Chains A and B, each alone.
Chain A
Amino acid sequence: MKDTQTTVRPVIEAKGLNLVFQTGDGPVHALKDVNLTIGKGEFVSFIGPSGCGKTTFLRCIAALEHPTGGTLTVNGMTPDQARQSRAYGYVFQAAGLYPWRTIAGNVKLPLEIMGFSKADQEARVRKVLELVELSGFAARYPWQLSGGMQQRASIARALAFDADILLMDEPFGALDEIVRDRLNEELLKLWARTQKTIGFVTHSIPEAVYLSTKIVVMSPRPGRITDIIDSPLPRDRPLDIRDSKEFIDIAHRVREGLRAGHGDD
């Protein structure tokens, strides 16, 4: 019974969300009338050209931006309250590890700030480093790791305090395609194991289709949602699913959505 309840209740819900930035050149409509519901355990990708508001929307969920209209709830709370209750971990495009801390020290950072006990900190660091397969690198410094490993460490850092939601802003955007493929695969495994709800911003169509249960296609000026695609792909996805007809069909629909959004350019 508990299961049905949690699947029904949305984790993230946006209704008529608007965000207008006042700039020197006049107001910029970063988000216009965005309506979206994300359920528990979903993997939702946001895709679109730059300026479409995909990152801005993720930042709104994380209370890094504040909408100028509409409502946005995270776990039934305001984004600010959700932050206080440690509802989400955020992964940025750059790993942003502190060069003066070891990998373990970096993963420990949020735990120190949130005031976890020393013993708990150690245990959690060990657990999440295992989860991203970096156990052997706890005592290394970031410069000793490759870009992909650094980004895995930053994911471990976001997972350390056990938030239900993982928000990822083009986390693999700066990595080469081979590393990116492997990290995508690992991310899916991680998602299956941890049952997190994931919001994932990307500009890569294959990445979005491969990872997501729901793909949100957005377009710019004003930033808005043009299409929401519920993926029919099974949750268990080997890399070669990308050659299947279903995959190609979804990718095609995403591309059409992106093209339609660009029509007025």
Chain B
Amino acid sequence: MTRALPVLTVLMLIVALWYAGAVWLNSTWVYDQAQRVGTSVTLAEVIPQTMTQTRPLLPPPHQVAAELWKGVAGQKVTSKRSLVYHGYVTFRGTMMGFALGIVLGVGLAMAIVRYRVMELSVMPWAIISQTIPIVALAPMILTVSNQIGVENREIPKAIIAAYLSFFPVLVSMVKGLRAPDAMQLDLLCTYGASDAQTFRKLRLPASMPYFFASLKVVVAAALIGTIVGELPTGAIEGLGARMLIGSQFGEPLIMWAALFAAAILAGGLILLVGLIERLARARMGAPA
């Protein structure tokens, strides 16, 4: 309870500010309407009218919640209007990008730790790759994969997600695989251990805390990458496409509901990664 109190306080504050913002932004429309018909309205009359508009500038929380509920529970999960359906498409893309990013990041980190020349040749490019805005790159990846005949829309999405997620894994794993000190390495040397044995018995397990620390960042990055990958070129599935539709057709409620669905998905993914980390830590004998 004592831990929930500060969280709840902040939440209440955010909701209050949100309502205030909704009243402020949506009232413009109410005043305009009143002016058009030549009447004047008092603030007490304005406030209720800011809460129920069909196309508000800033939808108040209860409208977003209702739209979200409608999207999740209001229809069959296979419906094109179901947020569960779109959420699942985005989740699938995120997981593919996440897995691809981990494989790429860990693979590059292994090569960099093993071969010095890899560090000099690959690391600068890995850093430069992260300075290119993903929104600029995503359409190109989609177009190119279309040009070379990749029919499956999931693949360019996964590539975009992996593009964002490999880097944190790479940086953490380079650090993690180098975590064992000289004494640890000398000890294995006295056993006549091979490089492969040193990697498997020492470097890899020693890197696990670094790996898991990066995963929480990476899973969120993969989700963002997937949504960005769903935005351009008229994608029709996924939370990103849903946001785009809401924006293009002037349906802010759809956009906001999709946004919150994405946030909830991100939260769930981070909790899941945290759970896996806890299980792994317990298996590796860390104090509870």
Binds B, one of A86-94, A189-197, A211-219, A223-231: A86-94
Q: Which residue of B lies closest to A102 (CB)?
A: B285
Range class of the B interface residue count:
20 to 34
Known interface pairs A83-B190, A90-B190, A113-B191; A100-B183 also in contact (CB < 8 Å): no
User: In the bound complex, do residue B205 and residue A62 qualify as a contact, i.e. CB atoms below 8 Å apart?
Assistant: no
Which among A86, A90, A94, A98 is the interface contact of B202 at CB below 8 angstroms?
A: A98
**Complex-state Cα separation, A114 to B189, whole angstroms:** 12
Q: Which residue of A lies closest to B194 (CB)?
A: A113
Which among A86, A92, A101 is the interface contact of B187 at CB below 8 angstroms?
A: A92
User: In the bound complex, do residue A92 and residue B192 qualify as a contact, i.e. CB atoms below 8 Å apart?
Assistant: no
Which among B183, B187, B285 is the interface contact of A141 at CB below 8 angstroms?
A: B285
Q: For window 58-113 of chain A, which residues contact chain B by CB distance below 8 Å?
A: 62, 64, 83-84, 86, 88-90, 92-94, 96, 98-102, 109-110, 112-113
Q: What residues of chain A lie closer than 8 Å to B188, measured between beta carbons?
A: 113
A interface secondary structure, majority: loop
Candidate in A89, A92, A102, A113 with the most chain B CB atoms within 10 angstroms: A113
Candidate in A84, A90, A92, A100 with the most chain B CB atoms within 10 angstroms: A100
Known interface pairs A113-B201, A114-B192; A99-B285 also in contact (CB < 8 Å): yes
**Complex-state Cα separation, A90 to B208, whole angstroms:** 27
Q: For window 154-211 of chain B, which residues contact chain A by CB distance below 8 Å?
A: 183-184, 186-193, 197, 201-202, 205-206, 208
Question: In angstroms, how far is the closest chain B Cβ from the Cβ of A164?
Answer: 14
Q: Which residue of A lies closest to B189 (CB)?
A: A64
Residue B133 at the chain A interface, CB threshold 8 Å: no
User: In the bound complex, do residue A109 and residue B184 qualify as a contact, i.e. CB atoms below 8 Å apart?
Assistant: no
Which among B184, B187, B284, B285 is the interface contact of A90 at CB below 8 angstroms?
A: B187
Q: What residues of chain A lie closer than 8 Å to B206, measured between beta carbons?
A: 98
Q: Which residue of B lies closest to A59 (CB)?
A: B186
Question: In angstroms, how far is the closest chain A Cβ from the Cβ of B180?
Answer: 9
Q: What residues of chain B lie closer than 8 Å to A99, measured between beta carbons?
A: 284-286
Question: In angstroms, how far is the closest chain A Cβ from the Cβ of B210?
Answer: 13
B interface secondary structure, majority: helix
User: In the bound complex, do residue A113 and residue B192 qualify as a contact, i.e. CB atoms below 8 Å apart?
Assistant: yes
Q: Mark A113-150, 1 if CB is under 8 A from B, else 0.
A: 11000000000000000000000000001010000000
Candidate in B189, B191, B202, B286 with the most chain A CB atoms within 10 angstroms: B191
User: In the bound complex, do residue A110 and residue B191 qualify as a contact, i.e. CB atoms below 8 Å apart?
Assistant: yes
Residue B234 at the chain A interface, CB threshold 8 Å: no
Q: What residues of chain A lie closer than 8 Å to B183, measured between beta carbons?
A: 92-94, 96
User: In the bound complex, do residue B284 and residue A64 qualify as a contact, i.e. CB atoms below 8 Å apart?
Assistant: no
Q: Which residue of B lies closest to A144 (CB)?
A: B287
User: In the bound complex, do residue A92 and residue B193 qualify as a contact, i.e. CB atoms below 8 Å apart?
Assistant: no
Q: Mark B9-48, 1 if CB is under 8 A from A, else 0.
A: 0000000000000000000000000000000000000000
Q: What residues of chain B lie closer than 8 Å to A114, measured between beta carbons?
A: 191-192
Q: Mark B32-66, 1 if CB is under 8 A from A, else 0.
A: 00000000000000000000000000000000000
Candidate in B186, B190, B192, B284 with the most chain A CB atoms within 10 angstroms: B190
User: In the bound complex, do residue B205 and residue A100 qualify as a contact, i.e. CB atoms below 8 Å apart?
Assistant: yes
Known interface pairs A109-B201, A113-B197, A113-B201; A88-B190 also in contact (CB < 8 Å): yes
Given contacts A64-B190, A96-B184, A100-B208, 16 further A-B contacts (CB under 8 A): A64-B186, A84-B192, A86-B192, A88-B190, A93-B183, A99-B284, A99-B285, A100-B285, A101-B285, A102-B285, A113-B192, A113-B193, A113-B197, A114-B191, A114-B192, A143-B287
21 residue pairs from A and B, CB less than 8 Å apart: A64-B186, A64-B190, A83-B190, A83-B192, A88-B190, A90-B187, A92-B183, A92-B186, A96-B184, A98-B206, A99-B286, A100-B284, A100-B286, A109-B191, A110-B191, A113-B188, A113-B191, A113-B197, A113-B201, A114-B191, A141-B285
